[in-house]
A = this chain, B = another copy of it.
Amino acid sequence: MEKLRVAVLGATGYTGAELLRLLVGHPHVEITEVVGHSKKGALLEDVLPALRGHRGLPKHVSEFDPDRIAQKADCVFSCLPHGASGSCVAELYRRGRVVLDLSGDFRLKDPLLHSKWYGHDPDPEVRQVAVYGLPELFREKIRMARVVALPGCYPTASILPIAPLLEDGLIEANPIIIDAKSGVSGAGREPNARTHYPEVSEGLRAYKVAGEHRHIPEIEAILSQVTRTPVQLCFTPHLVPMNRGILASIYVRPKEGATVEKICQCVKRRYAESPFVEVLTPGACPDTLWIRGTNRVLLSYTIDERSGWLVCQSAIDNLVKGAGGQAIQCMNCIYGYGEGEGLEFLSAWP
């Protein structure tokens, strides 16, 4: 079988590095271009030392040129930051390429909401055609997509555990409290005071509390869509001293008659065709360490009989299921490969 030619834009950050790691292991893919504006011309192995020595990669980082990229690649992944990504995505889309955009530029369907949270709309037309890249919920649409807006890492961890319960009316749409905890790679590769090693190690803190994080409108929009009722949630992200992983503890109210058995069954049924989702037994607690480096999603549901709350837990790797792995999963959907192709490995534990 002819290999699919792919290019990666913004390849020199953590998301790009992870995407390249996963793509070199994909049986149907050939990486033809690795684009990194600030590092153009550099040896890829100098920029991403963990990729050193692999023969399946271009030797050099190249510059963005939409004509050349469109000529050399069938499918393009953009790991550019929001703001920068949108226009590159649009240029490649207009040249007939399939584009998987890992930035936030087309995640929000509503242009006004986008403007409020991100500013300038990079391309209203692409916004309309972009499909939200969460295969567990939107597999059919993704198969037809030309542009996929990959979910944020927190939205992936937040939407998957509760969307089926909202769809089936097993929980109330309000209140939803999401207490999410992330490893530091989620903050990107650019060093800053908040991610300087000595100020993270042995410390723990929340950030952007009380409605400040850009992932909130994204989670709300998707949940409102699946539940056909407006959802407003309370979301608190935390920075945890570890490299990878998101653990979300989500507090919701089960509706009358919604036992934990019904809840687990509902989720298992909803994700029966989803190779990466696994529902643990009630009371069990997923650990991000168990799925480090993989595309897997561990879910768990427990009802607190005393207070009546349903505690939902989800664990993902922010750079894989929360970014590069999910993008490849979408690519697999679009090109008719097995959904898990190239992603079916286990975690290097511990």
Contacts and interface: CB of A to CB of B under 8 A. Distances in A.
Nearest to A349: B50
A289 B204 CA distance: 7
A79 to B, nearest CB: 15
B241 A241 contact: yes
Contacts of A236: 179, 249, 311
Contacts of A350: 14, 50, 185, 198-199, 201-203, 243-244
Given A179-B249, A196-B195, A197-B201, A54 B211 contact: no
A283 B206 CA distance: 10
Contacts of A302: 209-210
A211 B306 contact: yes
A87 B203 CA distance: 37
A193 B49 CA distance: 13
Given A197-B241, A309-B234, A18 B203 contact: no
B242 A201 contact: yes
A293 B243 contact: no
B205 A202 contact: no
A205 B348 contact: no
B209 A283 contact: yes
Interface string A205-247: 1110111100010000000000000001110101011111101
A300 B208 CA distance: 13
A345 B345 contact: yes
A156 B288 CA distance: 28
Nearest to A287: B205
Contact of A184 (B197, B286, B309): B197
Contacts of A174: 307
A14 B198 CA distance: 10
Interface of A: 14, 17-18, 20-21, 24-25, 48-54, 174-175, 177, 179, 181, 183-185, 189, 191-193, 195-207, 209-212, 216, 232-234, 236, 238, 240-245, 247, 249, 251, 278, 283, 285-293, 296, 300, 302-307, 309, 311, 313, 315, 319-320, 344-350
